[in-house]
Amino acid sequence: MLFHVEMTVQLPHDMSAERAAALKAEEKEMSQRLQRDGVWRHLWRIAGQYANVSIFDVDSPAHLHDVLSQLPLFPFMRIEVRALCRHASSIRDDDR
């Protein structure tokens, strides 16, 4: 199942720079692993914001929830999720 996920990160103002850097490094490592595994299919930054738009390819909404809730920055994110399906007018043979 494909999902459009928009994540906006809001770190606390009183978080230490060291803690923020460690969380960001953990997040990068995990996101790159999920991309290599084909779960996090696309990742785009939203210009001018600490936010991204991503496409996830997971087995179910519960699977997506499990993936997102394991992200190191999850406690500091506002997340919007939209389920996707193929459009009848698409000229592509697949969803990649």
* Segment 14-55, tens digit of pLDDT: 999 999 999 999 999 999 999 999 999 999 999 999 999 999
Among 5, 75, 78, residue whose Cα is nearest residue 43: 5
Instruction: Give residue-wise pLDDT tens across range 59-75.
Output: 999 999 999 999 999 99
Please answer whether residues 42 and 55 qualify as being in contact, where contact means their C-beta atoms are separated by less than 8 angstroms.
yes
Domains and CATH numbers, the chain: 2-84 (3.30.70.1060)
Give the end-to-end CA distance of the chain in Å, rounded to a whole number.
12
Tokens of 90: 């698409």
Q: Look at the pTM and tell me if it is higher than 0.85.
A: yes
Position 93 confidence tier, pLDDT thresholds 50, 70, 90: confident
Report which residue type is found at 89.
S
Position 95 confidence tier, pLDDT thresholds 50, 70, 90: low
Structural element, H or E, at residue 67: helix 61-69
